[in-house]
Amino acid sequence: MHVLIVEDEKSLAQEIENFLSHSGYRCDLCQTGKEASEKLFVNQYDFVLLDLGLPDYDGLDLLKEAKEVNAEAAFIILTARSSTNDKIAGLNLGADDYLAKPFSLPELHSRMQAILRRKHGLTRNTISIGGFELDILNRTFKFDNQGINLTKKEFDILHYLILNKNKVITRIQLTEHLWGDILEDDYESNYIDVHMKNIRKKLAAFSDPVWLETVRGIGYRIN
C-alpha cells in the first residue's frame, strides 16, 4: 500500500511514517501543499493522509484537486481544526474519514484497515482463495494453517493482486505500487516476473495456484 502523508508538523509526519512503514506501507512525506500537489499529479496512491492546516495551501482545496488526479485513493483528513463545518466540507468533497488531532497511531491504522475493507467489499481482515488465506492485518499468507514464508515484496504483490481480483494488473502498475516512481528505461525490466516466479514456486509447494494467471505481454490477474 502506497501512502502520501501531507503534514507540515515534521515530527508527527515522521511518527506516522515510522509506524506505517513498520506495518508494511510505503510512505511519501510532504510538508507543503505545493509539494503534495506535484506528487499527486505524478503518483497513484492507495491512501492520502491530509492535514488541512498547511502553510501554503487550503487543505480543502488540495483535497478537491487530489480527488481529480487520484480518484482511486482513500482520503483521511488529519487536523487540529475543531470546526464541524470543515469536517462536513471535507466529507462532502469525498474524504473517507476524519481524524482530529491528537490521535493514536493504532487508531489511524484501524481506520485505514476499515476503509480498505469497505472499498473492496470485505467483511474481515482475511481473504481466502484456492485454499490459501491472506491476512491483511498480520501480513501472513497460509495454506491449511501452514505459514508460507513470503518476502515483503512477494506479500505486497499478492495482496495488491488479490484486492484487485479479476482485473488485469500491468507490470508497470505493480512496479509503481511497490517501488514508486520508475524511469522509462526500467519499463522492460523483468524484476516483477522474477518475483512472480518465486511466488508461484512457493505456493506450488502447497497447492497449484491455478487462480494466478499471467496475461501475456501485459501483466497478471487473480481469477
Query: Cα–Cα distance between 5 and 15 in angstroms, integer?
Result: 11
For residues 102 and 6, the model is more confident at 6
Confidence check: pLDDT of 32 > 60: yes
Quote the pLDDT of residue 123: 65
| Residue corresponding to grid cell 490459501 | 132
**Which three cell numbers, joined as nine digits, stand for 77?**
483528513
Query: Cα–Cα distance between 141 and 129 in angstroms, integer?
Result: 11
The pTM (predicted TM-score) of the whole model is 0.72
For residues 81 and 174, the model is more confident at 174
Confidence check: pLDDT of 40 > 70: yes
Q: Where exactly are the structural domains of the chain?
A: 2-119, 126-222
Q: Which CATH class is domain 126-222?
A: mainly alpha
Query: Cα–Cα distance between 119 and 152 in angstroms, integer?
Result: 23
Confidence check: pLDDT of 159 > 70: yes
Which residues neighbour 8 within 8 Å (Cβ) at sequence distance 6 or greater?
31, 32, 51, 53, 54, 55
Quote the pLDDT of residue 84: 73
Fold agreement (2-119, 126-222): no
Specify the CATH number of the domain 2-119. Answer: 3.40.50.2300
Encode 6-26: b = buried (16+ Cβ within 10 Å), e = exposed.
bbbeeebbeebbebbeeeebb
**Which three cell numbers, joined as nine digits, stand for 150?**
513470503
Query: pLDDT for 167-194, tens place per residue?
Result: 999 888 888 777 765 544 444 568 889 9
Query: Cα–Cα distance between 199 and 176 in angstroms, integer?
Result: 19
